[in-house]
Structure 1
Amino acid sequence: MLTANIQAGSSTRRYSDYVTRSWSHALPMGRKRSSLDTIAQLAGDRDIVGLNESDPGSLRSGFTNQTHYLAERAGFHYWSHQPNRRMGGVASSANGLLSKLEPVEVQDHALPGRIGGRGILLAKFGEGAQGLAVAVAHLSLGANSRLAQLSFIAELLSDHPNAVLMGDFNCVADRPEMQVLYRRTRLQPPSSTVLTFPSWRPERAIDHILVSEGLGIGATEAIPAAFSDHLAIGMELDVPAELLKR
């Protein structure tokens, strides 16, 4: 598995880029296509990939649906996206899911918060409650909004004993608001700290792949790449075959 905040293909390599390269968040210039190709190479050997800040088709992406583009370039037969935030026709943002396994169902839910524009994408693999549920979310910057969002997610995943939740949480895994998730679901805090932000000098672990107890976790690593202000996280996950049977 892989989770990546791709910043719509914009490259950020130092704090000053937020000012000097701010145009890249509104215009289809720079090396966005090259960044997407790098991401596709990164994702191609994974079975399931979660994306945050994938542009669904606006001016800054050259009206390219970046999730679809990555699916085609990386060889994923199944993909889905959830547009969350639109800024006129200039910029848009979405959660995305790429999969080499066919989901039986994909759900799109808006998340609560003081400011709208956040969501969770939920894909189900295998039949019944015992199947694998994979959710992709991008949480708010504010703790109160995150608490409301995590409470919603906990309710959504409470009936799924075999679940994975991944994305940009904008907080470390032991924040107080995260406890609602661990209490109400079988999702567990990560066993090791993986620093992901900022990508050029990682100091904070704010991107996560959370896994239900009972699923086997293998190697977990931060993956450097010449894109975004976040590092991606890759994880090997041992999922019993019977959970994926249709």
Structure 2
Amino acid sequence: MKSPTQTLRLLTANIQAGSSTRRYSDYVTRSWSHALPAGQKRSSLDAIAQLASGRDIVGLQEADPGSLRSGFTNQTHYLAQRAGFNYWSHQPNRRMGGVASSANGLLSRLEPVEVQDHALPGRLGGRGVLLARFGDGDEGLTVAVAHLSLGVSSRLSQLDFISDLLSDHPNAVLMGDFNCTADRPEMQVLYRKTRLQPPGCLVHTFPSWGPDRAIDHILTSDTLKVLDTRAVPAAHSDHLAVEMEVEVPDHSLR
């Protein structure tokens, strides 16, 4: 007899702190928006909140934790309030010139048993992984949110670190901006040391105005059944978000 399961709706989104990037030239012509609170950041956040509101667990990257750039708004907290999430956590991990900061964030309708944040190794630092555990014991669902480095060597050390964190968690999800495709050589350490599997389909997420690279992922362990995966706009971020429906064992949430 099949063990009882629950369906969870997951989302990962690099929200670019609510900034708007619709073409490569915007990285230059709108560079001020990455340091100043002007622009349409609040309306972008409201659009992201509407997207997140239909999900059970959301992972965020490049959420501003409350610097000048965001008008001193903790964007993870703001999204939790606007989208109706009872539980949220964030991990500030990078400060840029005293005017901008960046964080990983987690929004959840389920109450985590435990939340941990870990700094990731790397040549420049300023990267991290946020880890939440749902359910008791070794079989509890573990969800990790990460934003990996651009450089291959740093990314490899980060993936090795995350693999060690997740190696003893059979029911696991790793989501975020990996800055690489899922078939890159450095990704193999994840598949070797954990029960995480390569994605079953290719979902292009970058750049958002003409996506031709699959660098944002939701990876699940082989104990979870993926029902659907697709890319969706995250307001005007330069990344598309990834949404997934997945069946998880009932006992992993108790």
TM class by smaller structure: over 0.9
2:225 is aligned with 1:213 = no
- Residue 115 (structure 1) aligns with: 124
Counterpart-to-counterpart distance in 2, 1:87 and 1:172: 27
Counterpart-to-counterpart distance in 2, 1:225 and 1:6: 6
2:238 is aligned with 1:229 = yes
1:120 to partner: Cα distance: 0.2
- Residue 197 (structure 1) aligns with: 206
Counterpart-to-counterpart distance in 2, 1:163 and 1:20: 41
1:88 to partner: Cα distance: 3.9
- Residue 48 (structure 2) aligns with: 39
* Aligned 8 A contact 2:80 2:107 in 1: yes
1:20-59 correspondence runs (5 A): 20-59=29-68
Counterpart-to-counterpart distance in 1, 2:54 and 2:78: 16
* Aligned 8 A contact 2:173 2:221 in 1: yes
2:80 is aligned with 1:71 = yes
Counterpart-to-counterpart distance in 2, 1:199 and 1:73: 24
- Residue 164 (structure 2) aligns with: 155
Q: What is the root-mean-square deviation in Å for CA atoms of aligned residues? A: 0.6
- Residue 166 (structure 1) aligns with: 175
Alignment match of 2:114 (pick from 86, 92, 105): 105
Aligned residue identity for 1:220: T
- Equivalent residue of 2:47, what SS? helix
Aligned residue identity for 2:248: V
- Equivalent residue of 1:188, what SS? coil
- Residue 135 (structure 2) aligns with: 126
Aligned residue identity for 2:86: H
Alignment match of 1:10 (pick from 4, 12, 19): 19
* Aligned 8 A contact 2:13 2:234 in 1: no
Task: Give the TM-score, by structure 1 length.
Answer: 0.99
Aligned residue identity for 1:111: L
Aligned residue identity for 1:161: P
1:169 to partner: Cα distance: 0.1
- Residue 7 (structure 2) aligns with: none
The higher-RCO structure (CA 8 Å, 6+ apart) is 2
1:214 to partner: Cα distance: 1.6
- Equivalent residue of 1:226, what SS? coil
Counterpart-to-counterpart distance in 2, 1:16 and 1:162: 42
Identity among equivalent positions (%) equals 80
Q: Structure 2: 5+ residue runs without aligned partners? A: 1-9
Counterpart-to-counterpart distance in 1, 2:170 and 2:191: 12
2:100 is aligned with 1:91 = yes
- Residue 80 (structure 1) aligns with: 89
Q: 4+ residue stretches of structure 1 with deviation over 6 A?
A: none
Aligned residue identity for 2:188: Q
- Equivalent residue of 1:63, what SS? coil
Counterpart-to-counterpart distance in 2, 1:51 and 1:215: 22
Counterpart-to-counterpart distance in 2, 1:122 and 1:226: 25
- Residue 71 (structure 2) aligns with: 62
Q: How many residues align?
A: 245
Aligned residue identity for 2:230: E
